[in-house]
Structure 1
């Protein structure tokens, strides 16, 4: 299984936000945004900050997918 943040990018589009705006609203680092773009693991604290900033649940931003189904969004 692998991590995918495709749902996060779709949610940002729906909310009319870009990555920089998310970074500022959630108070997370540029490095965390880069990890999202590479579908790499981030801390639960980072996910919590993103969910609070976007007023959503964790399943709205991250999902586990079969290894062959992961697409890079970076």
Structure 2
């Protein structure tokens, strides 16, 4: 599963609202909301690039891979689902 850390990076960079992040990243505010809430199935590289630029960070600062219980990937292929404060399964 993927854990997302956008809120943590927003706090470190003094970005207080999703609207501020959307404007800085060049991404529509609705899409930022879905990413932050972990409600997307995938994130385009251009969106990830915008977030990294706005937050002055690397993709690894926003996304963290956490193996499931046995440490093996699931049989069903999973996409990186979103960047936000939640966990993507």
TM-score (norm 1): 0.73
Residues in 2 aligned to 1:37 and 1:30: alpha-carbon distance in whole angstroms: 12
Q: 1:15 aligns with which of 9, 13, 16?
A: 13
Mark the structure with the bigger radius of gyration.
2
Structure 1 regions of 5+ residues with no counterpart? none
Residues in 2 aligned to 1:67 and 1:35: alpha-carbon distance in whole angstroms: 21
Structure 2 regions of 5+ residues with no counterpart? 70-84
Matched residues, number: 69
Richer in helix (by share): 1
Cα distance per residue 1:7-60 (max 9 Å; x no partner): 221010111212111001011023421123126321111000111111111111
